[in-house]
């Protein structure tokens, strides 16, 4: 997919939850669906203004898209967007619930609707796809009326499908968090979050964390990621309250140049 400056790239295809998030964040104009590799390359080369992709879920933690973002040399997070997901069962028009022999969806989606599927469609085959949009695409291209997908209801309008049943999620309810990648951090507000990245040896982790406490910076979350250089070294995504221009955080960053700022943005949760 070719993109140009001024456009907003999102992890596609259309009908995915990331598409849904971007519609709520930006509206329908200038949105471009991309594969992961296309999205990362377009952001790195400045051919798009913003990039949106899911990086965390409450069910499975870090998504496969987090590490490629952390690998970017000049990444700048400008916004976060959390949303609780709700699911519909989508199929071609004329398909009845009793006709369905195969259900397609993202693996995380299957965790949310497992109870409903176990009770209502216990014998159907469950096929994992890369996204809810990809699942809907497969259903619309199928010949027989035996396939259905699970995903956001708005995918039905995009692909000309019918929603057989809505609200099939029965828990554990999944909240997905997206990052919006841009160029410049927003100005401070009264409620901000800053994402930081530090790569340290295991023996130095306690000292790293103590530096936050000593500076009076509140740590909100810590995610461990592989450093890819050895078992005794890891990189940590550390998210803290406040903006990077805040005195306490700015002072800490001056003393710890090994801590990299990924971005400061309004806190949504």
The CATH number covering residue 235 comes to 3.30.70.260
Q: What is the mean pLDDT of residues 27-44?
A: 95
Q: What is the mean pLDDT of residues 159-178?
A: 88
Residue 230: per-residue pLDDT: 87
Confidence of residue 172 (pLDDT cuts 50, 70, 90): low
Residue 129: per-residue pLDDT: 93
Residue 265: per-residue pLDDT: 98
Q: Do residue 109 and residue 147 come from a single domain?
A: yes
Answer yes or no: is 2 within a domain.
no
Mean pLDDT of the chain: 93
Where residue 32 sits, what CATH number does that domain have? 3.40.190.10
Domain containing 98 equals 88-166
Q: Do residue 63 and residue 178 come from a single domain?
A: yes
Q: pLDDT tens, 88-110?
A: 999 999 999 999 999 999 888 89
Confidence of residue 130 (pLDDT cuts 50, 70, 90): confident
Cα(129)–Cα(132) distance, integer angstroms: 7
Q: What is the mean pLDDT of residues 164-185?
A: 89
Q: Do residue 124 and residue 54 come from a single domain?
A: no
Return the biggest CA–CA distance within the chain. Answer: 65
Sorted by sequence, the CB contacts under 8 Å of residue 180 that are 6+ apart come out as 25, 50, 51, 52, 77, 78, 79, 80, 81, 265
Residue 171: per-residue pLDDT: 64
Q: Is 175 helix (H, G, I), strand (E, B) or coil?
A: strand
Nearest Cα to Cα of residue 215 among 240, 259, 191, 251: 251
Q: Is the pLDDT of residue 19 over 90?
A: yes
- Beta strand 102-105 with 125-128 is parallel
* β-bridge mates for residue 194, sequence order: 240, 264
Residue 234: per-residue pLDDT: 96
Q: Is the pLDDT of residue 4 over 60?
A: no
Is there a cis peptide before residue 102, judged by omega within 30 degrees of 0?
A: no
Total-model pTM? 0.88
Q: pLDDT tens, 57-77?
A: 988 889 989 999 999 999 999
Q: Is the pLDDT of residue 1 over 60?
A: no
Q: Do residue 22 and residue 127 come from a single domain?
A: no
Query: What CA–CA distances, in Å, run from 107 to 123, 127, 149, 154, 266?
Result: 18, 9, 12, 19, 30
Cα(41)–Cα(47) distance, integer angstroms: 9
Residue 5: per-residue pLDDT: 56
Q: Is the pLDDT of residue 18 over 80?
A: yes
Answer yes or no: is 12 within a domain.
yes
Confidence of residue 183 (pLDDT cuts 50, 70, 90): very high
Q: What is the mean pLDDT of residues 186-200?
A: 96
Answer yes or no: is 59 within a domain.
yes
Q: Do residue 16 and residue 79 come from a single domain?
A: yes
């Amino acid at each position: 997919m070719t993109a140009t400056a001024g456009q907003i790239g999102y992890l596609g295809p259309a009908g995915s939850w990331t598409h849904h998030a971007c519609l709520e964040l930006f509206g329908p104009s200038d949105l471009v669906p991309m594969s992961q590799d296309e999205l990362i390359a377009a952001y790195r080369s400045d051919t798009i203004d913003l990039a949106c992709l899911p990086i965390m879920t409450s069910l499975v933690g870090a998504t496969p898209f987090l590490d490629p973002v952390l690998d970017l040399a000049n990444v700048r997070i400008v916004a976060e967007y959390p949303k609780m997901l709700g699911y519909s069962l989508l199929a071609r028009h004329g398909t009845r619930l009793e006709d369905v022999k195969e259900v397609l969806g993202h693996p995380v989606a299957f965790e949310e609707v497992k109870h409903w599927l176990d009770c209502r469609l216990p014998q159907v085959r469950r096929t994992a796809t890369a996204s809810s949009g990809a699942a809907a695409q497969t259903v619309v291209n199928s010949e027989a009326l035996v396939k259905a997908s699970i995903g956001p209801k708005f995918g039905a309008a995009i692909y000309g499908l019918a929603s057989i049943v809505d609200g099939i999620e029965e828990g554990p309810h999944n909240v997905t968090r997206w990052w919006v990648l841009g160029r410049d951090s927003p100005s401070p507000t009264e409620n901000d979050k800053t994402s930081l990245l530090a790569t340290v040896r295991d023996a130095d982790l306690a000292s790293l964390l103590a530096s936050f406490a000593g500076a009076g910076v509140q740590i909100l979350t810590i995610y461990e990621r592989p450093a890819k250089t050895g078992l005794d070294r890891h990189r940590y995504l550390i998210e803290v309250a406040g903006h990077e221009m805040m005195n306490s955080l700015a002072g800490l960053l001056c003393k710890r140049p090994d801590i990299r700022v990924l971005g400061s943005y309004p806190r949504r949760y």
